[in-house]
């Protein structure tokens, strides 16, 4: 109790910094100036009930939620589905996910920003929407939110739950704050046994291992086809994809390209965050390399870097590439989701830093779908060897597709937990 009160006091004192952060981000992404009322629980029209609420903080979590949303729509036809997030890119991704779920479901799908974790803000949110059930994706452990959910009688599940060893150590420094939050959950669907063990070590109860929902995400055929069409139009060019890169990694990748001896190599460079598109373009042009942005069309023969400045097309990029290096893994960011690339049959190259997706990365390497670049190994040398070895890439491609197909089923197991708290219509 004391820990949560102190946390709330510090959060209130930080409010001016929160507002300044929104304003600063809005300079690069004007969308951050919108919907401020939702962030403090002060706006957002009520929606027809009953309501099932799913929280997915940003892009990756929103995409991972798609198969779960589809099952909720099918099994709970009398419910509206409220999806919340925290970022404009997540909101844009939700629009794409809603479209993929079909027009017939559109009247039952709603999106709002989740309020910041002030007691009054989250209480107003819960009173406005009165969800029958709340589902938090991955690691969204907000002490006041969970406390208020218990106060309002809203059952809560943490689904697709993951917790790296690094994050567990961080949460462990505040046992009086996070142990009650975890213990108050009505259930946890962990991705892996290691995730389950770390959550239980912090005080979680009723933890089940259900797998990773991202393995159940279906790649849109239109995106696969788009990537294959690009591949044909690029003719005999070798295409190396740098997927979801983080700050500092682009320079490493450009250095590797400069050191590689592959005729007509095309680097397909896709930064993780859209607010960095212009910055990365400047970095490339400063090196005197010909660049075309995806929004401008296809590369020309003179293009050395094709900048992926679009959202929602990563599957097309994977389907176009001969080899992909996963961003976030070359420097200690913890890596980005490799499952989509594997599902597209793209050979994968991982850096040494994959703690955010430790089990998936380990399993992908063991299956032959991915190759890990260990500390001290040359990125240029390893990538060049793979790009020159067509048969090796074919074997890795087949292994990647098989790996992605073999790990499905998390959605069905998660739905079993959901049905234990709220019965579908007619039951």
Phi, psi at residue 130, to the nearest 5°?
Answer: 45, 60
Mean pLDDT across the chain: 93
Tell me the mean pLDDT in the region 328-343.
94
Backbone conformation region of residue 374, classed left if phi is above 0, alpha if psi is from -120 to 50, else beta: beta
CA distances 407 to 219, 239, 323, 334, 337, Å, are 15, 28, 22, 21, 14
Contacts of residues 170-175 at CB distance under 8 Å and 24 or more positions apart, as own/partner, are: 171/141, 171/202, 172/201, 172/202, 174/3, 175/202, 175/203
- CA dist., res. 357 & res. 195, Å (int): 11
Would you place residue 44 in the very low, low, confident or very high pLDDT band (cuts 50, 70, 90)? confident
| pLDDT for residue 32 | 87
DSSP annotation of 407: T
Tell me the mean pLDDT in the region 51-66.
94
Determine whether 247 is an active site residue: no
DSSP annotation of 116: P
Asked whether residue 426 carries a pLDDT value surpassing 70, the answer given is no
CA atoms within 13 A on the CB side of 145: 20
Would you place residue 325 in the very low, low, confident or very high pLDDT band (cuts 50, 70, 90)? very high
Contacts of residues 12-20 at CB distance under 8 Å and 24 or more positions apart, as own/partner, are: 12/118, 18/116
What's the distance, Cα to Cα, between the start and end of the chain in Å?
39
- CA dist., res. 110 & res. 117, Å (int): 21
pLDDT in tens, 137-147: 998 889 999 99
| pLDDT for residue 425 | 65
Number of CB atoms found within 10 A of residue 173's CB:
8
- CA dist., res. 114 & res. 56, Å (int): 9
- CA dist., res. 337 & res. 260, Å (int): 26
Q: Which residues pair with 349 in a beta bridge?
A: 325, 371
Q: What's the pTM value of the predicted model, to 2 decimals?
A: 0.88
Three-class SS of 27-81: CCCHHHHCCHHHHCCCCCCCCCCCEEEEECCCHHHHHHCHHHHHHHHHHCCCCEE
- CA dist., res. 137 & res. 157, Å (int): 9
Which residues, at least 6 apart from 100, have a Cβ–Cβ distance to it below 8 Å? 66, 220
Tell me the mean pLDDT in the region 35-45.
90
Asked whether residue 79 carries a pLDDT value surpassing 80, the answer given is yes
Of the listed 38, 61, 138, 340, which one is catalytic? 61
On whether the CB atoms of residues 142 and 425 are closer than 8 A, the answer is: no
Residue-wise DSSP of 91-103: HHHHHHHHHHH-G
Q: Which residue has the tokens 């690009």?
A: 230
Packing angle, helices 143-151 and 2-13, rounded to 10 = 120
Phi, psi at residue 32, to the nearest 5°?
Answer: -65, -15
| pLDDT for residue 305 | 98
Asked whether residue 316 carries a pLDDT value surpassing 90, the answer given is yes
On whether the CB atoms of residues 147 and 154 are closer than 8 A, the answer is: no
- CA dist., res. 5 & res. 424, Å (int): 38
pLDDT in tens, 153-192: 999 999 999 999 989 999 998 888 889 999 889 999 999 9
| Tokens at 212, concatenated | 């990773």
Q: Which residues pair with 292 in a beta bridge?
A: 306
DSSP annotation of 119: H
Q: Which residues pair with 306 in a beta bridge?
A: 268, 292
| pLDDT for residue 3 | 85
Would you place residue 423 in the very low, low, confident or very high pLDDT band (cuts 50, 70, 90)? confident
Q: Give the residue ranges of DSSP H helices in 218-272.
A: 221-233, 249-259
| pLDDT for residue 2 | 59
Domains along the chain with CATH numbers: 2-211+409-421 (3.40.50.11720), 221-406 (3.40.50.2000)
């Amino acid at each position: 109790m004391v820990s949560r009160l102190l946390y709330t006091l510090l959060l209130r004192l930080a409010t001016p910094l929160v507002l300044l952060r929104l304003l600063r981000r809005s300079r690069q992404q004007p969308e951050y100036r919108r919907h401020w009322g939702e962030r403090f629980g002060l706006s957002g029209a009520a929606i027809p009930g009953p309501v099932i609420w799913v929280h997915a903080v940003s892009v990756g979590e929103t995409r991972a939620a798609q198969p779960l949303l589809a099952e909720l729509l099918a099994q709970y036809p009398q419910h509206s589905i409220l999806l919340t997030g925290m970022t404009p890119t997540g909101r844009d991704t939700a629009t794409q996910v809603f479209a993929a779920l079909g027009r017939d479901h559109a009247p039952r799908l709603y999106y709002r920003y989740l309020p910041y974790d002030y007691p009054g803000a989250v209480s107003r949110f819960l009173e406005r929407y009165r969800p029958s059930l709340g589902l938090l994706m991955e690691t969204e452990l907000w002490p006041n939110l969970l406390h208020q959910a218990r106060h309002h009688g809203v059952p809560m599940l943490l689904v697709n739950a993951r917790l790296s060893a690094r994050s567990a150590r961080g949460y462990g420094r505040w046992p009086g704050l996070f142990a009650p939050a975890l213990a108050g959950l009505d259930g946890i669907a962990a991705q892996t046994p290691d995730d389950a063990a770390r959550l239980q070590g912090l005080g979680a109860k009723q933890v089940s291992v259900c797998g990773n929902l991202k393995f159940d995400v279906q790649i849109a055929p239109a995106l696969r086809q788009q990537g294959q069409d690009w591949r044909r139009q690029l003719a005999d060019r070798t295409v190396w994809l740098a997927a979801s890169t983080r700050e500092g990694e682009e320079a490493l990748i450009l250095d590797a390209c400069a050191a590689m001896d592959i005729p007509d190599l095309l680097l397909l460079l896709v930064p993780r965050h859209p607010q960095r598109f212009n910055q990365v373009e400047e970095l490339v042009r400063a090196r005197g390399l010909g660049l075309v942005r995806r929004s401008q069309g296809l590369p020309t023969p003179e293009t050395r870097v094709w900048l992926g400045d679009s959202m929602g097309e990563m599957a097309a990029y994977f389907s176009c590439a001969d080899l992909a290096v996963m961003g976030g893994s070359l420097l200690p960011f913890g890596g980005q989701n490799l499952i989509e690339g594997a599902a597209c049959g793209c050979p994968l190259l991982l850096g040494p830093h994959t703690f955010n997706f430790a089990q998936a990365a380990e399993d992908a390497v063991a299956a032959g779908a991915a190759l890990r670049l260990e500390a001290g190994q040359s990125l240029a040398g390893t990538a060049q060897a793979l790009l020159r070895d067509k048969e090796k890439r074919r074997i890795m491609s087949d292994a990647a597709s098989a790996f992605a197909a073999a790990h499905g089923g998390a959605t069905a197991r998660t739905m079993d937990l959901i049905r234990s708290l709220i019965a579908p219509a007619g039951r």
